[in-house]
C-alpha cells in the first residue's frame, strides 16, 4: 500500500501546480556519498501513464528486504536517487532506492552502487502529512521554482535525491527532504 501511495505521488507530481509556499527550502554544499540499492530506468511520462517502475521498486524494496541486505549502512534513512538524466525532467532517468553506505566494497547481487556527486543542492523540505501528498507538493514546488528561475541556481540534472529519515516513519504523517542538484 505504501509503495502504491509513493508511486501515486510521483505520478501526480507530473501535473502542473501553482506553489503557495507550503514547504521550506535552502541551498547547501553537499559532500559526495554513495548509495547502494535497486535500480531501474524510467521517465515521468511512463510513470504518469501507469507503465512505470517506481511502485514496483518500492514493492521489491519491502517484499525482498532489500535494505536489510545492504552492508555498511551509514544511517537508517532510505534514499531515493534520480540520476543519469537524458535531458530535463521530461526525459529518461535512473531511479535508485536504497541506503547511504560508508563503503561500497561489497555490493549485493542485483543491486548497484551510485556515488552522489558533491556540489550545490537546493533542499526542499516538505510539509508534514501523508507521503503521497507531501511528495507531490514538494516536486511541484521544485518544478515551479525551476520554471521561475528561483530554485537557487539552474538545475544541473546530474543527481537529485530524497531522504526518508526518522520523520518518514509514519506514512500518514511524514516529512522528507528533497535535494535538487543546481549549478
The mean pLDDT of 170-175, rounded to a whole number, is 94
Domain extent listing, the chain: 2-182
pLDDT in tens, 113-128: 999 999 999 999 999 9
Q: Which CATH architecture has domain 2-182?
A: Alpha-Beta Barrel (3.20)
pLDDT for the residue 182: 96
pLDDT of residue 145: 92
Please provide the DSSP assignment of 39-77 as one string: EEEE-HHHHHTT--SHHHHHHHHHHTTHHHH-SSBSSS-
Q: At 144, is the pLDDT very low, low, confident or very high (cuts 50, 70, 90)?
A: very high
Report the mean per-residue pLDDT for the chain: 87
Of 8-17, 68-77, 126-135, where does mean pLDDT reach its minimum? 8-17
pLDDT tens digits along 33-44: 999 999 999 998
Locate cell 535535494: which residue?
Answer: 179
Give residue 7's pLDDT.
Answer: 47
- How many percent of the chain have pLDDT more than 90? 70
Q: What is the 3-state secondary structure (H, E, C) of 146-167?
A: HHCCCCCCCEEEEEEEEEECHH
pLDDT surpassing 60 at residue 10: no
Which of 2-11, 131-140, 171-180 has the least mean pLDDT?
Answer: 2-11
Model confidence band, residue 55 (pLDDT cutoffs 50, 70, 90):
confident
Amino acid at each position: 500500500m505504501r509503495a502504491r501511495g509513493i508511486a501515486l505521488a510521483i505520478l501526480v507530481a507530473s501535473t502542473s501546480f501553482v506553489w503557495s509556499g507550503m514547504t521550506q527550502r535552502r541551498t547547501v554544499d553537499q559532500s559526495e556519498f554513495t548509495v547502494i540499492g535497486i535500480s531501474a530506468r524510467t521517465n515521468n511520462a511512463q510513470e504518469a501513464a501507469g507503465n512505470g517502475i517506481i511502485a514496483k521498486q518500492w514493492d521489491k524494496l519491502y517484499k525482498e528486504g532489500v535494505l536489510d541486505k545492504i552492508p555498511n549502512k551509514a544511517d537508517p534513512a532510505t534514499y531515493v536517487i534520480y540520476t543519469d538524466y537524458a535531458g530535463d525532467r521530461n526525459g529518461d532517468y535512473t531511479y535508485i532506492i536504497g541506503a547511504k553506505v560508508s563503503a561500497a566494497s561489497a555490493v549485493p547481487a542485483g543491486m548497484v552502487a551510485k556515488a552522489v556527486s558533491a556540489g550545490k543542492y537546493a533542499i526542499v523540505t516538505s510539509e508534514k502529512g501523508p507521503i503521497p501528498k507531501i511528495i507531490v507538493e514538494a516536486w511541484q514546488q521544485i518544478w515551479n521554482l525551476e520554471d521561475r528561475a528561483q530554485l537557487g541556481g539552474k538545475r544541473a540534472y546530474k543527481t537529485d535525491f530524497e531522504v526518508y529519515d526518522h520523520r518518514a516513519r509514519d506514512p500518514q504523517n511524514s516529512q522528507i527532504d528533497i535535494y535538487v542538484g543546481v549549478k
